[in-house]
A and B are shown apart, each in its own frame.
Chain A
Amino acid sequence: MVAFLPRLRRFTYALTGDFASADDLVQDACVRALAHRDQWQPGTKFESWMFRIAQNLWIDKKRSAKSRGVHQDIDDMVEPMGEDGRVVTDQRLTLVAVAKAMQTLSEDQRVLLTLVCVDGASYKEAAETLNLPIGTVMSRLARARQALHGLLMPEAVDAGLVKENRRG
């Protein structure tokens, strides 16, 4: 499980958009997984099981925060790194731009986008993880990516994210 932490952390970062929330989610997911490890079915993918746990916890937390009226702007959550100079800062801005744009997507879209486009799952694997028909995965994913691309275009041009798009 320790070896899986970087991947789980990338998954939770993509969902939450900041390291502090991502790490909290990783911690909660690990604690829950270990406490309920007897529920993991040998022969099924451990990663998918962990992602589902993290996803459910994230949705619970979001709904709980919403009911309490808690809101934090992502711009306030990001701490510039600085110590490694301009290159690091530029990379961080790129990551932040994407993370910020992803926050505007629906929960379902964000999870799907993270599984397929960030973690590299195939459509079939994502469908199994989310217990969705593969057709739903594909149509939902296409809509999410169109929305994200539309949001990113102005920032992505500056950040160099969409060079391939410009070529097209």
Chain B
Amino acid sequence: MGNVSDEMLTLAMVVADGEASLADERKLQAALVANPALARQVAAFTATGRRGLGRVFDEVMAAPVPDHLERTVMTAPMARMNGQSAQMITTLGARWRDLMASWQAPALVFGAAALAFIAGGLLLGRSDYIGPQASQVAALGSFAPSAGLTEALTKVATGAAQKLDTKSGVLDVRMVETFRNQSGAPCREFEAQAATGPAQFGVACHETNGWQLKAVFEGPVRTNLMVPVGAGDYSDMLDGLVGKMRKEALSAADEAKLIGGGW
């Protein structure tokens, strides 16, 4: 390195990293003519740059992340959880009251971290989730759906929608998917959307006592099942939950048989 100035060394690095301006590149070219030893420095910086050194660490990036790290993220206590609980319960209450036969959510509403913990490893799907927003809440349990929602779950085919007249307004309930869970019970993922406000997402399974809501989420509006960028926290969790619950997806023909047979 002896006869290469610090300024030229830095310039060699900037060029090797592709962060140089045209003027920098010309300056280096001129310096290379005057001092061929500088070429070795450019090569050294290339070898220790993003395309050299960076590639060596691709192996770490590609290695599977241990389960316990994912669980840590999904279950670690979060700041201000207690302070947010009341607000979350209130927020979830408004429209889900119209979709449940009886309102028992206050004891069953959780922030996402607690929800994941209670799910006992169900929610290990990948997510960008970093914490509940004030308008995004979720609950996990077993809730009886309202008569209107029960009818929609029983009769509406995947992809189709049914309007429900509720106390808080008209809800457009759309069936997203039908699948069998690990116990073999038929389940349906659905979403309910009013003209304004956040959408409700849910999963219901048809058990021995009829339809039961197994998970309910309330979050930002998603259009055509696409989650808006940066707003996918609960939708991602729902997708992860369904992924873990699903033993097999049901075809349209199998679903039609169940609808025809009243489940």
Contact = CB atoms under 8 A, between A and B. Distances in A.
Is chain B's binding surface mostly helix, strand, loop or mixed? helix
A54 B170 CA distance: 48
A69 to B, nearest CB: 29
A123 to B, nearest CB: 6
Contacts of A116: 17, 50
A56 interface: no
Interface in A1-50: 1-7, 9-10, 13-14, 19, 22-23, 26-27, 30-31, 34-38, 46
A5 B40 contact: no
Given A1-B130, A31-B72, A34-B76, A13 B54 contact: no
A27 B53 CA distance: 25
Nearest to B64: A6
A12 B9 CA distance: 28
Nearest to B7: A139
A34 B47 contact: no
Contacts of B157: none
Interface residues of B, number: 50
A64 interface: no
Given A117-B49, A168-B40, A26 B56 contact: no
Given A5-B65, A10-B60, A167 B43 contact: yes
A138 B77 contact: no
Interface in A38-88: 38, 46
Contacts of A92: 59
B1 interface: yes
Interface string B127-145: 1111100000000000000
23 contacts: A1-B73, A1-B130, A2-B73, A2-B126, A3-B126, A3-B127, A4-B128, A27-B69, A30-B69, A30-B72, A35-B76, A37-B78, A37-B79, A116-B50, A117-B53, A118-B57, A123-B17, A141-B13, A146-B1, A164-B47, A165-B44, A165-B47, A168-B42
Interface of B: 1, 6, 9-10, 13-14, 17, 19, 39-50, 52-54, 56-57, 59-63, 65-66, 68-70, 72-74, 76-80, 113, 126-131
